[in-house]
Structure 1
Amino acid sequence: MRDLLLKLCVGTAAILAAGAAVASDELLRMSQNPKDWVMPTGNYANHRYSQLKQITSDNVAKLKVAWTFSTGVLRGHEGGPLVIGNVMYVHGPFPNPLYALDLDNDAKILWKYEPKQDPNVIPVMCCDTVNRGAAYGDGKIFLYQADTTLVALDAKSGQPVWSVKNGDPSKGETGTSAPMVIKDKVFVGISGGEFAVRGSLTAYDVKTGKQAWRAYSIGPDNEILIDPQKTTELGKPVGPDSSLKTWQGEQWKLGGSTTWGWYSYDPELNLIYYGSANPGTWNPSQRPGDNKWSMTIFARDVDTGVAKWVYQMTPHDEWDYDGVNEMILVDQTIGGTPRNLLVHFDRNGFAYTLDRGSGELLVAEKYDPVVNWATKIDMDKRSQTYGRPLVDPKFSTRQEDVNVTGICPAALGTKDQQPAAFSPDTGLFYVPTNHVCMDYEPFKVSYTAGQPYVGATLSMYPPRGENHMGNFIAWDARTGKIVWSNKEQFSVWSGALATAGNVVFYGTLEGYLKAVDAKTGNELYKFKTPSGIIGNVTTYEYAGKQYIAVLSGVGGWAGIGLAAGLTEPTAGLGAVGGYAGLRDFTTLGGQITVFSLP
């Protein structure tokens, strides 16, 4: 198996030879230095893998806390730090402070940036006031604030270089995702699907902040940047008005399909990959049709934004199975043929393996056996339903004011945004999952700007007859099979990290940092941090020593009851009751904990 990192290295050399020295050239080179962690996703392929191997499966049990740092903010701490040379950049949730810490001087604060934001943005942030991290490029740190301001800060001084507003919080538009720097552009999405926000991905010039292009998820072809004859789905041109034809009237204008997840990039194909979220409203009877291109994987040209291919995973979503989870790019052999792959663990409970150049669907299997809303994905290319889920009518929510029970997974999916990791050493993916089901009752809802546009009441709980709500699994994307699975009491809401030391790290909602053997899944180490972990584990090397770092601070959708002080079981879009027991194990916090060997 060829490691994609090698391919990226070759691609970098080709670009540099052509004389196109841009920000991504620098990032490609920097991401190949395992001592640093230079982008939120680890590398452009979203591997979240490190070649560092000082910490191994033989000695990881000796880990000790090296140092800690408080962000000064409570509520959910998603994402993770950047490490560039001797500086660590640590972010927090609203009001989105950003710190530059000097690793040469006991993590002394070199500078702090804390934007002044209107607190009225907090009520329109769905599922907690989280932020998934900052990005680096062109000597700048890019922070995407809750109020949708994208700011470029000088990496050395912390002084603002430019800023631009990407949305309007008074309409429910917010910023929670981590930016991505590619070539001469920095990319951001938009949050707020539960407020009828229309999803988009926007590219800004890294030097000036000038908008380069914006591609909407839904609407007219010229606004979603689709070429009716050249953009394909499963090998066929999508045709004119591919989105508009699948919405009733102008419902698409309130159609959600936001873009608050992760982005990846293939420099040889010059494509950026990401997913769109749920259509609005959550009451499917108010929006008949497939509602394209919600719940869709997009492959877009980085320079123009034009979509090369699309694939809608959950047509006419009836369960809030956002498709925003990360796209992981790997090179593996399937059926004896080497392929350039994209692997995606969707909220809907199916893991997809596609050819990332053409969008051809190769594998689609359940990565939690309890998934029941659909029996399977139709893989018969001769079938009229090829590539679509075969929905079990027993779990359809199309009838208003009818409570449908026992749907698996719950709306927060078999996996939410908490990112998986890939190890080129084992060829496996390490996936934090939610083992949660729900009852779902849709009701009619009217639109008012800046007010929730949901239209459903939910309750969440473990699968019937079981008492755990999470699994951490190893997955083979070539076969669509679980290799091993570890039970967790609550959902695993932390991002994973794989390392060359045969160790995989993740965090738990109770607050444990855990280390497991990459081959067997055997637990090797755990340490309880001050608050539940919904951050992503990262690693770096400083002064010859490998460190592991993770943010702790319970919150996010699963921890919204604790984060926002909610107690009504159906509050938090159904999560509060399902995770009520979390109060017995942790409470609010906000710190980064750094570990090393003695």
Structure 2
Amino acid sequence: MIRYALPAAAALLLSGSWGASANESTQQAISDAKNWAIQTGDYANQRYSTLEQITKANVGDLQVAWTFSTGVLRGHEGSPLVIGDIMYVHTPFPNIVYALDLKQDGKIIWKYEPQQDPNVIGVMCCDTVNRGLSFADGMVFLSQADTTVVALDAATGEVKWSVKNGDPAKGETATATTMPFKDKLLVSISGGEFGVQGHVTAYNIADGSQAWRAYSVGPDDQILFDPETTTELGKPVGADSSLKTWEGDQWQIGGGTTWGWFSYDPDLNLIYYGSGNPSTWNPSQRPGDNKWSMTIFARDADTGVAKWVYQMTPHDEWDFDGVNEMILADIEIEGQQVKTLVHFDRNGLAYTMNRETGELLVAEKYDPTVNWTTGVDMDPNSETYGRPAVVEEYSTEANGEDVNTTGVCPAALGTKDQQPASYSPKTGLFYVPTNHVCMDYEPFRVSYTAGQPYVGATLSMFPAPDSHGGMGNFIAWDAAAGEIKWSLPEQFSVWSGALATAGDVVFYGTLEGYLKAIDSETGEELYKFKTPSGIIGNVFTYEHAGKQYVGVLSGIGGWAGIGLAAGLTNPNEGLGAVGGYSALSDYTALGGQLTVFALPD
């Protein structure tokens, strides 16, 4: 690794002043809108900034203020952090971390470059992405591709502690950010396409020791369920709720990985996240509901015990991971102010739930082309309450046998993948980057070998038919009514995380490389600028020396851009994405750059 010393003045900025508790230090940094102190904007995952220097009246005057090359040419997801005068930038594998001095034109203060076995690249599903750093107690936390979690001194880059969260030899890797809460750090695991038994783990921030680990599938003592008090839709789940829905010991290689985002409600002391697809992708090989894959979890932050769960896609037949972000917002529903959780799932349904109780309030399609289901049973008295009704034509199995299925909407990468939406309390709307993509799905029998792909399906992807011909939309969503307010068509999927601001502007990026600014009320495009490479990063904002800045990482890759990122040409490679997004090469090329914008002086 390489490290450089931090100037004394900057070291003082990061020492001592952040309080003794991780929750306090992170929350203090989040509470100052000049910072961008957590990947999701805040603990509620709203990705909303109260900065308002940049408005819909002047955003058209934005100019590039400065740029920074990361030196890595793979998919750049997530965003930098900004704490005071320091910006922390991360990269895809090999997961370099830079600390930049904003007082000296982004001068490199220190650089951390871990030494990882490059063989881990071969067991990373959909590019070598990393979704960013987190900050607490004067430390910056990195979850490396090889599952090593590292705590770096924010002032010097010195390694304070490190811990191994998984085993790449079994297909376990890491792509997600971590989340500090109270005195702990929450860490996820990737590898659903390798038969990994998914889990989340809380480590003690002080020394990296393990506080608790909760699996997604398996026996009650592993998934941290109390059969009497853990509920789904208001009813106790009962004993062995997961085991009863798997055949034999399939749960041991059952997937349900947790590579998405976390949110936290400190008043309720609950952590929220989603679990991914069951393994394998061939549904005929794993009869049953395969609980608790494809599930929203609400867990006690201190113990990890689940308070409530909700499985969105029982017995998933299409790889509709449930890991997308849970946005916490207090919104009015039928005249009542409700503490809600809003989730835009890969399966094409947007859910509004009571985040205290797990009550299902709204479940509606947020792309009208979604066809695998007619909708969710919303009758609490029904035996199928909360379950989606599957359209037989788009099922990928019948009577336990494989079925080659055509025209399924959405494709496996979902109506939205991990690219996070944003919420504006000013408009009450959610701003959602979406994929407008369908697929043909051919399951096949597959056997499990540790560390080898355990997929069992061949996919091909294409734009949704009978629409604008493009592969994406950027939409505004009313979560109380369950309806689209407006929709902006895009040629390719919108794979960039959105940012809403108090200046009545919403920002997002496109796969061709454009940063776009739109009116938060009307959706009118107000500004665009083409960065050097396709954008799959998340737009962020901060203030320094009295000026508001907006920034984004560009560097094509991720699942949609895996063909370019990894040099793949077979249309069925990249789990079906290479063919679907082959035209991207006509518009952009590999890159790894941070572009920062500001208004002219």
Residue 117 of structure 1 is matched in structure 2 by 116
Q: Report the CA distance between 1:312 and its aligned residue.
A: 0.2
Q: Superposed, which structure 2 residues align to 1:332-481 within 5 Å?
A: 332-399=331-398, 400-466=401-467, 467-481=469-483
Contact 2:396 2:402 in 1 (8 A): no
1:26 shift after superposition:
2.1
Q: How does 1:51-66 map to 2 (within 5 A)?
A: 51-66=50-65
Separation in 1, partners of 2:563, 2:23: 40
Question: Residue by residue, what CA displacement relative to the aligned partner does 1:298-320 show, whole Å, maximum 9, x if unpaired?
Answer: 00001100000000000000000
Q: Distance in 2 between the 1:393 and 1:376 partners?
A: 13
Amino acid paired to 2:410: P
SS in 1 for 2:104: coil
After superposition, what is the alpha-carbon deviation per residue over 1:97-135, rounded to whole angstroms, capped at 9, x for unaligned?
Answer: 000000000100000001000000001000000000000
Q: Would you say the 8 A contact 2:395–2:403 is kept in 1?
A: no
In 1: Cα distance, 2:185 partner to 2:466 partner = 47
SS of residue paired to 1:330: strand
In structure 2, what residue type is equivalent to 1:155?
Answer: A
Number of residue pairs the alignment of both structures matches: 579
* Corresponding position of 1:543: 545
| CA–CA distance in structure 2, aligned partners of residues 513 and 326 of structure 1 | 22
2:498 counterpart of 1:496: yes
What is the correspondence of 1:497-536 to structure 2 with a 5 Å cutoff? 497-536=499-538
Matched, 1:570 2:572: yes
Contact 2:20 2:137 in 1 (8 A): no
* Cα pair 2:234 2:357 within 8 Å, conserved: yes
Q: Determine helix, strand or coil for the equivalent of 2:28.
A: helix
Separation in structure 2 between the aligned mates of residue 21 and residue 234 of structure 1, nearest angstrom: 38
- Asked if the contact 2:284–2:402 (Cα under 8 Å) also holds between the matched residues in 1, the reply is no
Are 1:276 and 2:275 counterparts?
yes
Residue equivalent to 2:257 = 258
Secondary structure of 1:115's counterpart equals coil
Which digits, 9 at most, give the CA deviation of each residue in 1:39-85, with x for residues without a partner? 11110000100000110001101000000000000110000000000
Pairs within 5 Å for 1:215-294: 215-294=214-293
Q: Distance in 1 between matches of 2:218 and 2:95?
A: 32
The reply to whether residue 161 of structure 1 matches residue 163 of structure 2 is no
Quick one: distance in 2 between partners of 1:544 and 1:436? 43
Per-residue deviation, residues 318-365 of structure 1 (Å, max 9, x unmatched): 000000000000001101111100000000000000000000000000
3-state SS, counterpart of residue 126 of structure 1: coil
SS of equivalent to 1:506: strand
Shift of 1:25: 1.7
Task: Indicate conservation of the 8 Å contact 2:230/2:308, yes or no.
Answer: yes
Aligned match for 1:486, one of 485, 488, 491 = 488
Structure 2 distance, partners of 1:268, 1:198, is 31
3-state SS of the aligned residue for 1:573?
Answer: helix
- Take 2:506 and 2:369, find their aligned partners in 1: how far apart are those partners? 25
Give the corresponding residue for 2:4.
none
* 1:439-460 deviation per Cα after TM superposition (whole angstroms, max 9, x unaligned): 0010000001100000000000
Asked if the contact 2:74/2:590 (under 8 Å) is kept, the reply is yes
Match of 1:3 in 2: none
The aligned counterpart of 2:15 is none
Give the AA of the match of 2:530: K
For 1:426, the aligned partner's letter is T
**1:369-403 CA distances to partner (integer Å, 9 max, x unpaired)?**
00000000110111110000011011000145532
AA of the residue aligned to 1:28: Q
Shift of 1:482: 0.2
Instruction: Output the CA distance in 2 between the equivalents of 1:254 and 1:181.
Output: 28
1:328 matched residue in structure 2: 327
* TM alignment of 1:582-597, pairs within 5 A: 582-597=584-599
User: Aligned to 1:574, what secondary structure does the other structure show?
Assistant: helix
| Separation in 1, partners of 2:485, 2:247 | 43
Partner amino acid, structure 2, of 1:99:
Y
Give the 5 Å matches for 1:46-195: 46-195=45-194
**Structure 1 position 199 matched with structure 2 position 198:** yes
Q: CA deviation at 1:21?
A: 5.4
d(CA) in 1 for partners of 2:429 and 2:193?
34
Residue in structure 1 matched with residue 7 of structure 2 by the alignment: none
Distance 1:222 1:170 in 2: 25
Asked if structure 1 preserves the Cα contact closer than 8 Å seen for 2:552 and 2:595, the reply is yes
Distance 1:21 1:140 in 2: 12
Give the CA deviation at 1:503.
0.2
Aligned to 2:583: 581
The amino acid of 1:447's aligned partner reads: Y
The corresponding residue for 2:14 is none
Moved more, 232-241 or 460-469: 460-469
Secondary structure of the corresponding residue to residue 575 of structure 2 = coil
Within 2, Cα distance between the matches of 1:200 and 1:535?
Answer: 25
Q: Which residue of 2 aligns with 1:13?
A: none
236-245 or 375-384, which deviates more: 375-384
Q: TM-score, normalised by structure 1?
A: 0.96
User: Could you report, residue by residue, the CA deviation over 1:518-564 in whole angstroms, capped at 9, with x for unpaired residues?
Assistant: 00000000000000000000000000000001000000000000000
**CA RMSD, 1 decimal:** 0.8
Q: Aligned partner of 2:61: which letter?
A: K
Q: Which amino acid aligns with 1:225?
A: L
- In 2, the alpha carbon distance for the partners of 1:113 and 1:21 equals 25
Supply the AA of the counterpart residue of 1:561.
Answer: G
Distance 2:87 2:599 in 1: 19
Where 1:414 maps in the other structure, the secondary structure is coil
Q: Counterpart of 1:527 in 2: which secondary structure?
A: strand
Matched residue type, 1:451: Q
Residue aligned with 2:327, SS = strand
TM-score between both structures, scaled by the size of structure 2: 0.96
SS at match of 1:26: helix
Q: Distance in 1 between matches of 2:182 and 2:402?
A: 49
**SS of the counterpart of 1:228?**
coil
Determine the structure 2 residue equivalent to 1:4: none
Query: What letter corresponds to residue 234 of structure 1 in structure 2?
Result: L
**Could you report, residue by residue, the CA deviation over 1:447-494 in whole angstroms, capped at 9, with x for unpaired residues?**
011000000000000112342000000000000010000000000000
Q: Taking every aligned residue pair, what percent have the same amino acid on both sides?
A: 73
1:29 shift after superposition: 2.5
Helix, strand or coil at the partner of 1:394: helix
Residues 500-527 of structure 1, C-alpha deviation per residue, up to 9 Å, x if partnerless? 0000000000000000000000000000
Deviations 1:17-41 (A, max 9, x none): xxx9521122222212110010111
Q: Which amino acid aligns with 1:460?
A: M
Q: Partner residue of 1:9?
A: none
SS at match of 2:574: coil
Q: Unpaired segments of 5 or more residues in structure 2?
A: 1-18
Deviations 1:182-213 (A, max 9, x none): 00000111000000011000000001000000
SS at match of 2:110: strand
Amino acid at match of 1:200: H
What is the SS of the residue equivalent to 2:362?
A: strand
